[in-house]
Structure 1
Amino acid sequence: MKIPKALYINDGKKDFKFPQQLDKDLYNEKFKNKLFCHFYDCNAKLSFNERKNGYKYFSTWNKSSHSEDCPYCVTYKDELKRSNVLDVKVDTNLSQPHIDKIFKRLNEKLNYENYLYTPIEGKTKASKLVCENGTQENIQPIIGNSDSSTLKPPKVYIRALDELSKRDFNKIRCVYGIIKNMQIDKNEDGSKYAYMNFDSSEINASICFPPAFVISNQVIFDKFELLKEYINNSSENFFCNCIGDVKSKKGKPFKSYNINIFQAEAIKMNNIPLEQFIYNLTMPTK
């Protein structure tokens, strides 16, 4: 699997490196054995590759393993037939303590993103992914509050928008990114739904509020028109993080994503719970 960037660790210093910055001689002289997976809390070792046509990329070092929650971790059980993947149903009912732990874990990841900063040549934005590799720290994946139930809740891994892949389909994931716009519509049977489109030129992904959400959260949904107008007519960036069931969009299997939300508690706008965010819009400005 091709990996677009690596975390360079040398004498306690950490920095992102991109394959375009290296060649075989420079890699062997300075970077070999010092490149690791950039994903948060993954210690997999990486190697540099360059094809005859000049195409460069990183790949996983032979016999090195990625953490279970890393998007570059591939196992045989992930190689499922398309017919076995598209219609699988998963348990989407998460407890509030479970949701709180997931969002806390996300905040830890984002804090690391702010800690390491490497501008990409030709771009002004910081690199998105950060991890503290090469340390003895071992933060376990979030599996919910095991004390409150004899049943283990589903593991919920965190994905930036560009980390989504086909192995996330039919799994509960915490996904984050910038929202571009919002739409409200109805099905032929009259049932209503809504969706927010992520702002990305590379990943086709949306947050979907299906009819089941509308039925369970009617009071909140009644104010979605206000929320839509605010998002679609504002110059503000809306950072959204949500926990939902990742599905493939109709007609675009494995190429686009719907993150289906069934609980209002499972989505935040600019780090504010959705219900509170909407309530703030109804308050008169001073």
Structure 2
Amino acid sequence: MAVSITSAIFRKDGKEQELKVVEVDLKSYQSTYKNNLFCTTPDCNAKLAFVFRTAKPSYFRTWKKENHTEECLFHFERIAARLGVSAEQTISVVLSSERKKNALKEAYRLAKMSDEEKEKQKNKTKKPNKKKPKTIGKKEVPAIKIVSTNEEEDVVEGEKVKRGPNILKRTADAFNVADIGKHRLLIGEIKDITFSEKSAFITTIWNRSEVLVKFEEVFFANSPEYNGLFHNIERYINEYQNVILTAIGEVRRNRESSGYELVVFSGDGFTIEDMSLQALAAHYSRKSLE
């Protein structure tokens, strides 16, 4: 049984320091600790990586292809994997910045379509009704888990990483229990916004159903350049009506309202009227110089 690694030796420029996992976050790992973390067992120089998780505690893991000494508490034997599929496997699907950008743009286009245009689109994409072949037996396939991150493999959960299916789009009135814990693309009109130095909350609405979009500490750790920019959204919704927000994040149940909420993890995961928040901030910056 694998033993969890909760501490590591930070070694750089001839100096050493023991770190607990709670002392490391995604920002400090990328800027300072990456490539410099090692096993705490004496005489074991196995390299470690930091695995960031939001819903569960983060942890350290053995770096790819690194081995612990046989006397080390964290020693394990590597077993060669064979080809095949199993329902117990998990494949992490990484959403690259480019995929997010294209998905958000498409969602905004759909949000702006008239009912007539939507009907035309539906008829255009309809396929002939073919008789489905009879299913014989059952093929086990790996579970798919979407990971919204720009980080490298060592901060992605799962055994494999590959490009997966398109992320499902949902207007604010279309969320259901089956979406909880999964990544979805939200389409909604911005009703209001509140923000502070380390958090922001945007209430979206669609057909009188509301979804709260949350930008928490992890968002600002991943995208520190977005600090101090959310006031631009407040200014924009005060100037314009029916402002569309598209956002990719993890769906959760809101503890206070029992409704749904969407947690966004990085700056490339949302747009306001098809603009990134940085583009919106730049717009107002130029305007103030005119």
Match of 2:98 in 1: 97
Q: Deviations over 1:218-241 (max 9, x none)?
A: 22122223433x046334331111
Structure 1 gaps of 5+ residues are 1-86, 118-126, 187-191
| Secondary structure, aligned partner of 2:268 | helix
**Residue 273 (1) aligns with residue 276 (2):** yes
Percent identity of paired positions between Structure 1 and Structure 2: 16
Q: Which residue of 1 aligns with 2:79?
A: none
Q: Which residue of 1 aligns with 2:221?
A: 215
RMSD of equivalent CA atoms? 3.8
Given that 1:92 and 1:172 are in contact with CA atoms closer than 8 Å, whether structure 2 keeps it comes out as no
Q: For residue 200 of structure 1, report the CA deviation from its aligned partner.
A: 4.7
User: Closer, same or farther in 2 for the Cα pair 1:215/1:129, shift >3 Å?
Assistant: farther
Determine whether 1:181 maps to 2:192: yes
1:137 and 1:220 map into 2 onto residues whose CA distance is: 47
Q: Tell me which amino acid in the other structure corresponds to 1:260.
A: V
Q: What residue is the counterpart of 1:136 in the other structure? A: 127
Amino acid paired to 2:223: N
1:184 and 1:195 in contact (8 A); partners too: yes
CA distances 1:252-284 after superposition (whole Å, capped 9, x unpaired): 44xx12111111111111111222112212222
Gaps of 5+ in 2: 1-54, 58-89, 130-145, 148-152, 154-159
Q: Which amino acid aligns with 2:176?
A: S
1:202 pairs, out of 204, 208, 213, with 208
Matched, 1:282 2:285: yes
Q: Structure 1 pair 170/105, CA: closer, same or farther in 2 (3 Å)?
A: same
CA deviation string 1:161-210 (max 9, x = no partner): 22111111111111111101110147xxxxx2111111357323111101
TM-score (norm 2): 0.50
Rg larger in structure: 2
Answer whether contact 2:218 2:265 (CA < 8 A) is retained.
yes
Superposed CA offset, 1:34-82 (max 9, x none): xxxxxxxxxxxxxxxxxxxxxxxxxxxxxxxxxxxxxxxxxxxxxxxxx
* Residue 262, structure 1, aligned to residue 268, structure 2: no
Residue 247 of structure 1, aligned match among 241, 247, 252: 252
Q: Which residue of 1 aligns with 2:176?
A: 165
Are 1:109 and 1:131, in contact at CA under 8 Å, matched by a contact in 2? no
Letter paired with 2:203: N
Hey, what's the Cα distance between the residues in 1 that align with 2:104 and 2:241?
22
1:92 CA drift (Å) = 9.1
User: Is contact 2:232-2:280 (8 Å) kept?
Assistant: no
The answer to whether the 8 Å contact 2:94/2:161 transfers is no
Count of residue pairs brought into register by the alignment = 175
Is the 1:88–1:170 contact (alpha carbons within 8 Å) kept by the matching residues of 2? no
Q: TM-score, normalised by structure 1?
A: 0.50
The one-letter code of the counterpart of 1:96 is S
Q: Which amino acid aligns with 1:281?
A: Y
SS in 2 for 1:100: helix
| Structure 1 residues 215 and 274, CA gap change in structure 2 (3 angstroms) | same
CA distance in 2, matches of 1:128, 1:179: 25
- Aligned counterparts of 2:286 and 2:184: Cα–Cα separation in 1: 32
Contact 1:182–1:231 at 8 Å: present in 2 too?
Answer: no
Which residues in structure 2 correspond to 1:56-95 (within 5 Å)?
Answer: 94-95=95-96
Q: Is the 8 A contact 2:189 2:204 kept in 1?
A: yes
